[in-house]
Amino acid sequence: MAQVVAPRVLIGLADAADQPLATDSWIGAFISLGARLRRYRAGLNSRQLIVAVSVPRRDYVAALIGTGWMLSAPPPRLEAPLEVFRRANRDTYLRAVTDRMIITGAFGELDEKRADARVRTGGKTLPVDRFKAVVELKDECENVSGDLLAPGFLAALTGAESTWLERMAAPSTDLALVGTAKWLYEDLQALVGNGADENGVGTPLGNYVLPYAARAATWSTPVIPSARLGEGQSVPEPCGLAVLDRFGAIKYLNDFRTPIVVCVIDRSIADESAAELLIEARLSNTRPMSVADDLHWKPARGVEALAFTVAL
Amino acid sequence: MSRIHDVIRRYEACRSVLSGGVTIFAVGDPQGAQLNAALRNAIFTLGEERSAVWDELLQVAKALRWRRMTQPQPNEYQPAFAQLGDEVLRQTSRLRNFVNNEEILDGIAAATSAVIEVDSPVGALLLESIHDVGAESCVVVASRNAARAGIASWLDDFGVQTVVPADLAAISAGVELAYVVAPPTFVPASVITAPATREVTFIVPAWFGNRALPASSLGPHAEGAIALSSKVHEIGDVEEPTNYVPDDARVEDTYFPQPVWGNRTSGEREPGSDEIEARKLLLGGGLALWLDDGERIRSLHPRQPAGDRVGYDPVTSVVPGTYLVLREGETERGAMYDEALRTLGAHASSIEVTQRRWKTALIHRLDAVGTSRAVKELSEGGVRSAGQVRAWTDSRLICPQRDADFAGLLEWLQEPVEPTYRNAITLRRALYKASAELRKELEDAVGTVDLGALERDGVLHLDLRRAGFRGMIVARVLACAPFTEIVSHQQVRVPFADGSSQWLE
């Protein structure tokens, strides 16, 4: 398992590549929360963990927690690419990763007669030995290829970099973000990096969270608009963590059966409904928890946290 | 400044206010104090059993007092203040014909004349404070839109921004101090728990004694809870007028203008089969609504980005300030229900049969055992939303929101689960689809209107192309009755004209 982000590292965020990374203690703290939650999940048994964090402003928080959660996922164990290609047929859809590209789509053919075996997949033909990580997809999809996403500072820091290509091929699919989709997608475009490095260049949070997006060659995390929950949509299985961003999403808390739910309460909104709903939820048949003692997470100053578990 | 800097600034402001606390300037306002004392004396002397003949005078006088507190601009900038005062005086002379509490009427009339005559010293101190720090370095926060407009009509000339709490997110980076023109208890906790500036100072008349700070709702239960301190500075002539109300007396006085709700008229009976318990809401635009504790209701969040403004809220979270999306003449639920049935074609009639069957069984069972026993038995059977059992008799509320609750309900009714269960779920899915389509149309319509006007006026009409949905309105909830009444199913969730909100903001 990848290590948890050490608190002494100063993490910075920027909204665009031409801006320096801005730092503050809460940025790293929320990434760390995502990783702590991943660790805690194994011990939950059949209970649901609900964590509420109340913050001065909602921005970036869900994306940062999601980043910590994804980076701390165990690396996928994949078969050798050649084995996957040999087993594939015309109905197989693959995601295949080289040192430079992610190629996703329908398998074409494998030509092992040549000295340098070649494979056609996702509409592209390349020598087999270029592929470092290949995985069969459950559902069919269009051919789409793109540049390999950069692992960036955080993947290096957490050790996820050493299994980066496998992670790009078969990312963990156990996270969902729910809220105002436009804002969540904007948050995922923010660049994260080493705040102590003056010339540091950030990496999009989306490189870790991998949101569903049109023409993306790899994806893992649905970003669900709150209103869709009221129209019958639910979080896809097997989701381990759902982050509910603001009251629009939190009001559906009781409908979630996800093992872990994080509720992001935006205190800048002049509406206490979200906090009241959580206080009420906590009163019904729950066991209190301490984020400090049980999760070993220390909220940044100005961040309030409340955690409890409830039988699923 | 990019967004990340704005966000970091907000965390920094929060830490700064956590360390330094908030400041309260309690400013002497002898005329306001006189009005406050006269009102409290009246409420105390007349007692809780007072005649309704007093209601209008007290309501208008309270509106005047509220305005004195939250709109301290010089009186020449607020002709409406003098008009309110004149209304108070008119009411006092009118009452002299009906009551013999001359002293009370004299007290209120004299204090009213005084506040109309003399500007509030709170305003003068506010202006002085703005000059001290510089108009560019501070922002003035008004309690609500009406007060903001009033204060801004005065302060705009001095180059200082006046905003409502919800606008604080947009203030510029150089602003270091917020002057809040309302007691802490009358602004959302966000003003101090998520401050936009490094310092927050409340400027209030000294006669308003409650200086407690609002806590964030999560706070008392949370780790890292935000605990804020305050320093009070008394300024000017803060001497209280002679007070005839004993200090330890309980006075049922509310400072925030409230409608007169009266008392529940439905008595203790249980609702009949075509009736339901519902709470009265007063809405912007002179409208009102009966809201039952049933299915969630369509709402609008004007500050969300386009495409994400229309949603639903559970009935429990409908509070003053919520914007409801309503259909004139009939409920949206009814129209959506008809549309869902239409889309199901031939299957619709068999679904209607099973729906009618279990609802009839429920009505009979409720008639036999009564609502409270039904709620108890269902809760014991694990039906979490048992409290809504009466609402489920409504033919257009398809079934309980939670599937397990519906299964539990059918079991309690000893009704066969299939095909009833599957039919209801099919119908609900069709309803979801119809309502998702309506949401898209509403989003499009909302995208083309002036939402600023909605925040200002509290009501807005939307024109949709969809047949049967031409007349949709969005209205802000102004007040919620503290008790329910029994009304017929046909009455609930249909807006109607109502004059009770006259003296509300």
DSSP-assigned letters across all residues of B50-92: --GGGHHHHHHHHHHHHHHHH--S-GGG-HHHHHHHHHHHHHH
Mean residue pLDDT of chain B comes to 90
The answer, yes or no, to whether ipTM is higher than 0.90 is: yes
- Note the pTM of the prediction, 2 decimals: 0.88
Taking an 8 Å cut-off on Cβ atoms, the answer to whether A272 and B189 are in contact is: yes
Q: Testing the interface with B: which of A60, A187, A231, A264 to mutate, by most B Cβ within 10 A?
A: A231
- Point out the residue among B195, B319, B432 whose CB comes nearest to the CB of A232: B432
Interface of B with A in 158-177 (CB under 8 A): 165-166, 168-169
What is d(CA B505, CA B503) in angstroms, rounded to the nearest whole number? 7
Mean pLDDT of B305-316: 87
Mean pLDDT of B143-166: 93
SS3 content of chain B, % helix, strand, coil (to 5): 50, 15, 35
What are the pLDDT digits (tens) for A238-293?
A: 799 999 999 889 988 988 889 999 999 999 886 778 888 888 888 877 899 999 99
Exposure pattern of A23-52 as b/e (b: 16+ CB <10 Å)?
bbbbbbbbbbbbbbbbebeeeeeebbbbbb
Residue A81 has pLDDT above 90, yes or no: yes
Taking an 8 Å cut-off on Cβ atoms, the answer to whether B224 and A299 are in contact is: yes
The whole-number pLDDT of residue B390 equals 85
- For chain A, report the end-to-end CA distance as a whole number of angstroms: 26
- The residue written with tokens 């039919």 in the block is B423
Residue A6 has pLDDT above 60, yes or no: no
Tell me the residue ranges of DSSP E strands in A80-164: 93-98, 101-111, 118-121, 124-127, 131-137, 144-147
pLDDT interval class at B503 (50, 70, 90): low
Least confident of A117-121, B98-102, B498-502: B498-502
Q: Determine contact: B227 vs chain A, CB below 8 A.
A: no
What is d(CA A209, CA A73) in angstroms, rounded to the nearest whole number? 11
What are the pLDDT digits (tens) for B215-258?
A: 877 878 899 889 999 999 999 998 888 777 777 777 778 888 87
Bridge partner list, A310: A48, A286
The whole-number pLDDT of residue A1 equals 43
pLDDT interval class at B48 (50, 70, 90): confident
Task: Please tell me which residue of chain A has the smallest CA distance to B434.
Answer: A231
Contacting residues of A for B168, CB less than 8 Å apart: 268
Least confident of A217-221, B66-70, B114-118, B434-438: B434-438
Mean pLDDT of A183-208: 94
SS3 content of chain A, % helix, strand, coil (to 5): 30, 30, 40
Mean pLDDT of A59-70: 98
The whole-number pLDDT of residue B465 equals 75
Closest of B193, B170, B7 to residue A302, by C-alpha: B193
What is d(CA A102, CA B232) in angstroms, rounded to the nearest whole number? 63
pLDDT interval class at B311 (50, 70, 90): confident
Residue B502 has pLDDT above 80, yes or no: no
pLDDT interval class at A82 (50, 70, 90): very high
Report the helix count and the strand count for chain A, using DSSP H and E.
Answer: 10, 17
Question: In sequence order, which residues have a C-beta less than 8 Å from that of residue A281 and are 6 or more positions away?
Answer: A50, A253, A254, A310
Taking an 8 Å cut-off on Cβ atoms, the answer to whether B226 and A183 are in contact is: no
CA-based nearest distance A29→chain B, Å: 13
Residue B473 has pLDDT above 70, yes or no: yes
Q: Determine contact: B94 vs chain A, CB below 8 A.
A: no
From its phi and psi, is residue A60 left (phi > 0), alpha (psi between -120 and 50) or beta?
Answer: left
Q: Testing the interface with B: which of A187, A267, A282, A291 to mutate, by most B Cβ within 10 A?
A: A267
Mean residue pLDDT of chain A comes to 92
Which tokens sit at B290? Answer: 């009966």
Identify whether the C-beta of residue B490 lies closer than 8 Å to the C-beta of residue B278: no
Bridge partner list, A52: A263, A306
Taking an 8 Å cut-off on Cβ atoms, the answer to whether A305 and B11 are in contact is: no
What is d(CA B214, CA B191) in angstroms, rounded to the nearest whole number? 9
Taking an 8 Å cut-off on Cβ atoms, the answer to whether A57 and B169 are in contact is: yes
Taking an 8 Å cut-off on Cβ atoms, the answer to whether A279 and B218 are in contact is: yes
What is d(CA B489, CA B30) in angstroms, rounded to the nearest whole number? 52
Bridge partner list, A309: A49, A287
Closest of B459, B484, B452 to residue B387, by C-alpha: B484
CA-based nearest distance A32→chain B, Å: 16
The whole-number pLDDT of residue B500 equals 74
Contacting residues of A for B304, CB less than 8 Å apart: 180, 248
Mean pLDDT of B155-175: 91
Report helix angle B102-117 to B55-70, nearest 10.
30
How far is the CA of A156 from the CAs of A8, A21, A129, A153, in angstroms?
15, 17, 25, 5
The whole-number pLDDT of residue A312 equals 78
Residue A98 has pLDDT above 90, yes or no: yes
Residue B296 has pLDDT above 60, yes or no: yes
pLDDT interval class at B468 (50, 70, 90): low
The whole-number pLDDT of residue B246 equals 76
Contacting residues of B for A13, CB less than 8 Å apart: 4
Q: Determine contact: B193 vs chain A, CB below 8 A.
A: yes
- Count chain A–chain B contacts defined by CB atoms under 8 A: 159
What is d(CA B91, CA B454) in angstroms, rounded to the nearest whole number? 32
Which tokens sit at B413? Answer: 């009714």
- Point out the residue among B188, B219, B223 whose CB comes nearest to the CB of A270: B188
pLDDT interval class at B362 (50, 70, 90): very high
Contacting residues of A for B165, CB less than 8 Å apart: 270
What is d(CA A291, CA B362) in angstroms, rounded to the nearest whole number? 45
Which tokens sit at B407? Answer: 């299964």
Burial class (CB in 10 A: 0-12, 13-18, 19+), B229: exposed
Residue A9 has pLDDT above 50, yes or no: yes
What are the pLDDT digits (tens) for B270-286?
A: 888 788 899 999 999 89
Task: Please tell me which residue of chain B has the smallest CA distance to A23.
Answer: B8
Question: In sequence order, which residues have a C-beta less than 8 Å from that of residue A116 and are 6 or more positions away?
Answer: A127, A128, A129
Interface of B with A in 58-77 (CB under 8 A): none
CA-based nearest distance A60→chain B, Å: 9
- Point out the residue among A190, A269, A302 whose CB comes nearest to the CB of B14: A302
Closest of B108, B119, B3 to residue B67, by C-alpha: B119
Taking an 8 Å cut-off on Cβ atoms, the answer to whether B15 and A248 are in contact is: no
Report helix angle B347-369 to B420-447, nearest 10.
100
What are the pLDDT digits (tens) for B385-428?
A: 888 888 888 888 889 888 889 999 999 999 888 899 999 999 99
Residue B486 carries which side chain, given as an amino acid letter? I
% residues pLDDT > 70 (chain B) = 98
Number of alpha carbons in the 13 Å side-chain half-sphere of residue B39: 27
Closest of B82, B53, B62 to residue B258, by C-alpha: B62
Residue A146 has pLDDT above 60, yes or no: yes
Task: Please tell me which residue of chain B has the smallest CA distance to A233.
Answer: B432
Task: Please tell me which residue of chain A has the smallest CA distance to B310.
Answer: A227
Residue B174 has pLDDT above 50, yes or no: yes
What is d(CA A272, CA B76) in angstroms, rounded to the nearest whole number? 37
Mean pLDDT of B483-487: 93
Task: Please tell me which residue of chain A has the smallest CA distance to B296.
Answer: A230
The whole-number pLDDT of residue A2 equals 46
Which tokens sit at A142? Answer: 């269009």
The whole-number pLDDT of residue B505 equals 59
Q: Determine contact: B374 vs chain A, CB below 8 A.
A: no
Contacting residues of A for B436, CB less than 8 Å apart: 228, 231
Pick B206 or A273 by higher pLDDT. Answer: B206
Task: Please tell me which residue of chain A has the smallest CA distance to B297.
Answer: A230
Mean pLDDT of B61-81: 95
